[in-house]
Amino acid sequence: MNFLEGEVLLVDKPYGWTSFDVVNKIRWNLKRTLKVKKIKVGHAGTLDPLATGLLIICTGKRTKNVETYMAEVKTYTGTLLLGKTTPSFDLETDYNELFPVEHITGEKISAVAKGFLGVQEQTAPMYSAKQVAGKRAYLLAREGKEVEIKAHQITIEQFDVNIDRFPEVTFEIRCSKGTYIRSIAQEFGKRLASGATLIALRRTQSGAFHVSNAQSVDAWLNIINPETIP
């Protein structure tokens, strides 16, 4: 593979890693292996640290395609827990409120899921990498600062749910660029007159790229340099 000229690496991002962690790990190993001081490496769409799955990494001249790849429709699978909320809308922060779930039926859950389909406005969570006044929103949130985040337009093309493990709801969702699944989970709970927290998330597809063709970070490091010790 010609990483300097440009390659697209499909990485199965591990739980707990930021997208930048993956980029930095791959960039450092490429520089060491190729014996260069600089090489372009970037990702095409951030995944939260607690999410796993498909992360598209571009090197060299292929970094020019990052914006194109980012604009593609994404597919995710995951689980939300009804009856509890956290400030971050996921498990990055502790549960802070409890809500009733006894009134929630399968019919109501299906109806709420269908209500998300189509074009709509969405506001990013405070605990997100969204830029606000030149600073990441999550940094402001950790400082206890309240800031206004402008809504942006998204499109939900598919939203399938399963309640076999109620009050957990497993789902598959296909959505446009810029969709925050944590915000979907939080709003899902509200629409059920309850609360909800995203407890698992995995990106399975972005455009024509699928996670089934992705490899682990260690596997890519071994491809970059077969002598690499994980």
Active site members? 48
Q: How far is CA 150 from the centre of its chain?
A: 19
Look up residue 112 and give its DSSP letter. H
DSSP string, 192-217: TTS-EEEEEEEEEEETTEEGGG-B-H
Answer yes or no: are the C-beta atoms of 131 and 152 closer than 8 Å. no
Token pair 């014996």: residue: 35
3-state secondary structure at position 131: strand
Residue 19 host element (H or E): helix 19-34
Q: How many CB atoms lie within 10 A of CB 22?
A: 22
Token pair 């830029």: residue: 131
Q: How many CB atoms lie within 10 A of CB 5?
A: 10
Half-sphere exposure of 195 (CA within 13 A, CB side): 16
